[in-house]
Amino acid sequence: MITRKDVQYIAHLSRIHLQESEVEKLTNDLEGILGYIEKLNKLNVSAVKPTSHVLPIENVFRQDIEKPSLNPKDIMKFSTDNDGKGSFKVPQVIE
């Protein structure tokens, strides 16, 4: 059972502000989807190892050789607010 309060809490964890009408709709939607997902409880998986990746993934190492990288100016130009010297500006963080 998922409540409006749960939805508002998850929205905050997700850093999404929801309109009132969205809270109602999402409560119903998530309730329906999680109800469907319940079917996994029919399986006993206590002895099964989890799969996070289908390929045997290993750490990839390389030599520490200098290579050209992107120009910071080219990257900064996509931000709404920056100081033009390599720092992004954000609203006040500490009260």
| Sites of contact with other proteins (CB under 8 A) | 6-7, 10-19, 22, 25-26, 29-30, 32-34, 36-37, 39-40, 43, 45, 48-55, 57, 60, 62, 70-71, 74-75, 78-81, 88, 90-93, 95
Please report how close the Cβ of residue 30 comes to other proteins at its closest, in angstroms: 6
Report how far residue 38's alpha carbon sits from residue 53's, in angstroms, rounded to the nearest whole number.
23
Please report how close the Cβ of residue 22 comes to other proteins at its closest, in angstroms: 7
For residues 81 and 83, which CB has a smaller minimum distance to other proteins in the complex? 81
* Dihedral angle over CA of 71, 76, 77, 81, nearest 10: -170
The CB-based long-range contact list for 32-39 (8 Å cut-off, 24+ gap) reads 34/2
